[in-house]
Structure 1
């Protein structure tokens, strides 16, 4: 019973991570960072890199945490 509860919790967290990823990569939010800075360079590549790094890190942490519970 406890294992199925842990699996359900992990499944819900992974779905939440997917929803967060879709939100962070949604066009309205991405367009905010697509405006050029003072030097004329866009913040978009830095934003995409940081968000992608965050998503990969959270997914790795969730999956590693899942293996420790089993």
Structure 2
């Protein structure tokens, strides 16, 4: 399988995982948890998930260049 195809498949899978993590009923669970150190848990979850997705995308792309 060519490297470009494998890269596209991995990034597409990451996109689908991101959709599930950011736009699913799972998000509503964090809305009900309240606050942690004065910051809403929902905001912490969304930013942490977003940062994780960016880090994983960067790792996948950098790994494919080796």
Q: Give me the TM-score of the superposition, normalised by structure 2.
A: 0.82
* Aligned equivalent of 2:45: 47
* Aligned equivalent of 1:33: 30
Cα 1:40–1:58, aligned 2, differ >3 Å: closer, same or farther? closer
* Aligned equivalent of 2:55: 57
Q: Distance in 2 between matches of 1:12 and 1:38?
A: 37
Runs of 4+ in 1 over 4 A off after TM superposition: 37-41
Q: Distance in 1 between matches of 2:55 and 2:37?
A: 31
Structure 1 residue runs of 5 or longer lacking an equivalent are: none
Matched pairs, number: 65
Q: Give me the TM-score of the superposition, normalised by structure 1.
A: 0.78
Q: Tell me which structure has the larger Cα radius of gyration.
A: 1
- Structure having the higher strand fraction is 2
